């Protein structure tokens, strides 16, 4: 499969330099599949989707460099034709989702605890800083970093530090076979099993609990998967690949009452990232557990009279108590503190990085935090 290529980096550099000279904020835009994510975007829209195509792909080296506007679906099809994959299993949230949007949001799917996060697979990036200058960090091999790893710093920055032009990624071979086992159990039992199994040599690549059943995905060679299945027991899920796609895309029935379009169309969806061994949190509403216990999705069905901000403070306190943080993933007030507030010293560090990369503050102002 070939992906149509188009390099508009020079035009983008000129657009950024002009905006910087005028002090005009820019809203960096891809396909729009993740516009619901983060705080509400402001500024003049700058469309990046035309900057697309594969710059270099070496299947034997397990490395690919792709322009940021390249669609994820096309990239994954290209890799699959070579028996390879993006092991961090990025959610799309739309048919036109791009690699740049995924990198900016830093989102990874159910395979993340077992294979690594998107950030772990980034080898290098090319970006435009807030002065309109083109910069390259990292490269196309694993051992290319001396000092600060600035390429991975861009992952999850929501475009606040620079405009991504291209990303170099490590890819992995597709597993020979996959099988999903289903076991009925309680929440306590599910958490205990997920954490116990994570410490074994089993080919585990996914573990979620929907409130009634535990789903375990096994990936690898046929003999290895069969041996693990015999050891674990449980029923084999017929549509295993479809199930994990629905989990990745938040299309599992659990998420039906949560909308990507705000509070008028569904309940706010919270994501708590905590220590995987944390016991049941005892919070109101419904929960869906992913990442082997480390990711707890929460939908508050009946918040009662408790103000939204008080609820947010409670969820953040619980997350901190269990070694993590809480994020309003979608819905709710997108003008408020969507992400977990940073401690003072850490916020100062972020602001210094923002000043170094984007001195005029033109890139996605306020999208990540209200402070910048």
Q: What are the structural domain ranges in the chain?
A: 9-173, 177-248, 253-330
Could you tell me which residue, 150 or 127, shows the higher pLDDT?
Answer: 127
- Locate 310 and state its tokens: 């008080």
CATH of 253-330, picked from 3.30.70, 3.90.1410, 3.50.50, 1.10.1660, is 3.30.70
Domains 9-173 and 177-248 share a fold: no
* Sign of the Cα pseudo-torsion (356, 357, 362, 365, in order): negative
Q: Note whether 162 and 9 are within 8 A (CB).
A: no
Q: What is the model's pLDDT at position 304?
A: 52
User: 247-289, pLDDT tens digit by residue?
Assistant: 999 999 999 866 544 433 468 999 999 999 999 999 988 999 9
**Is the pLDDT confidence value at 220 over 50?**
yes
Cβ atoms within 10 Å, residue 318: 19
Report the C-alpha gap between 9 and 372 in whole angstroms: 25
CATH of 9-173, picked from 3.30.465.10, 2.30.30.90, 3.40.50.720, 3.40.50.300, is 3.30.465.10
Give the helix, strand, coil percentages of the chain, each rounded to 5.
30, 25, 45
CATH of 177-248, picked from 1.10.10, 3.40.50, 2.60.40, 3.30.70, is 3.30.70
Q: Note whether 81 and 3 are within 8 A (CB).
A: no
Q: What is the model's pLDDT at position 308?
A: 75
Mean pLDDT of 301-329: 84
In sequence order, which residues have a C-beta less than 8 Å from that of residue 27 and are 6 or more positions away?
41, 42, 43, 44, 45, 46, 364
State the residue for tokens 């972020």: 350
């Amino acid at each position: 499969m070939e992906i149509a290529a188009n390099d508009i980096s020079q035009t983008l550099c000129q657009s950024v330099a002009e905006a910087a000279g005028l002090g005009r904020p820019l809203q960096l835009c891809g396909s729009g599949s993740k516009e619901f994510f983060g705080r509400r975007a402001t500024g003049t829209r700058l469309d990046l989707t035309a900057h697309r195509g594969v710059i270099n792909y070496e299947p034997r080296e397990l490395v690919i460099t792709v322009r940021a506007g390249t669609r994820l679906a096309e990239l994954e099809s290209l890799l699959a034709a070579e028996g390879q994959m993006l092991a961090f299993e990025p959610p799309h949230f739309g048919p036109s989702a791009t690699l740049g949007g995924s990198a900016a949001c830093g989102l990874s799917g159910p395979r993340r605890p077992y294979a690594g996060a998107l950030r772990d697979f980034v080898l290098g990036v090319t970006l435009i800083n807030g002065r309109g200058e083109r910069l390259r960090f990292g490269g196309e091999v694993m051992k290319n970093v001396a000092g600060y790893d600035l390429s991975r710093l861009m992952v999850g920055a929501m475009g606040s530090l620079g405009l991504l032009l291209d990303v170099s990624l490590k890819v992995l071979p597709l597993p020979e076979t996959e099988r999903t086992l289903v076991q009925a159990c309680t929440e306590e039992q599910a958490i205990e099993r997920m954490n116990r199994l994570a410490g074994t040599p089993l080919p585990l690549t996914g573990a979620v609990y929907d409130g009634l059943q535990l789903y375990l995905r096994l990936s690898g060679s046929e003999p290895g998967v069969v041996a693990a299945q015999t050891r674990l027991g449980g029923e084999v899920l017929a549509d295993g690949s479809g199930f994990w796609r629905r989990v990745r895309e938040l299309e599992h029935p659990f998420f039906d009452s949560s909308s990507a379009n705000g509070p008028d169309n569904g309940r706010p969806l919270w994501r708590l990232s905590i220590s995987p061994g944390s016991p049941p949190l005892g919070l109101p509403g419904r929960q869906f557990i992913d990442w082997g216990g480390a990711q707890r999705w929460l939908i508050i069905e009946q918040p009662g009279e408790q103000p939204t901000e008080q609820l947010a403070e409670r969820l953040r306190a619980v997350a901190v108590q269990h070694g993590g943080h809480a994020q309003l993933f979608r819905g709710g007030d997108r003008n408020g503190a969507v992400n977990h507030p940073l401690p003072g010293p850490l916020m100062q560090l972020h602001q210094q990085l923002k000043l170094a990369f984007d001195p005029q503050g033109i890139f996605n102002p306020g999208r990540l935090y209200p402070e910048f």
